[in-house]
């Protein structure tokens, strides 16, 4: 069986994932953290833009803890 791999498609996905999100606020970071705590982590709720500075990172983890508590 011959298999081929779509490197162009993979490059497109990686390029999209590393584009910074615009207008990320602490409230948005907290909401993404809550989603990660409740539903599990995904590329969209763990995007690197939520960790761009200490304030955003702190809010993301705050939301994550809140989500974990609400899940259980």
Domain membership of residue 41 as a residue range = 21-50
Residue 30 lies in a domain: yes
Of residues 44 and 72, the one with the higher pLDDT is 44
Percent pLDDT > 70 in the chain is 79
CA angle (72 as vertex; 68, 66 as ends), nearest 5? 30
Assigned domain for 15 exists: no
With respect to residue 13, please indicate whether it lies within any of the assigned structural domains: no
Q: Which of 5, 69, 57 is nearest to 30 (CA)?
A: 57
In a domain, 46, yes or no: yes
The pTM for the full model equals 0.75
Q: Mean per-residue pLDDT for 4-13?
A: 66
Cα Dmax for the chain: 51
The Cα-based distances of 2 to 5, 10 in angstroms read: 10, 19
Higher-pLDDT residue of 71 and 23 is 23
Q: How many domains does the chain have?
A: 1
Residue 14 located in a structural domain: no
- CA–CA gap between residue 4 and residue 48 (Å, rounded): 30
Q: Which of 15-29, 31-45, 47-61 has the lowest mean pLDDT?
A: 15-29
């Amino acid at each position: 069986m011959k298999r081929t791999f779509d490197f162009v498609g993979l490059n497109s996905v990686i390029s999209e994932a590393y584009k910074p999100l615009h207008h990320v606020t602490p409230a948005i970071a907290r909401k993404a953290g809550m989603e990660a705590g409740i539903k599990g982590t995904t590329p969209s709720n763990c995007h690197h833009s939520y960790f761009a500075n200490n304030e955003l990172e702190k809010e993301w983890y705050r939301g994550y803890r809140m989500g974990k508590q609400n899940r259980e």
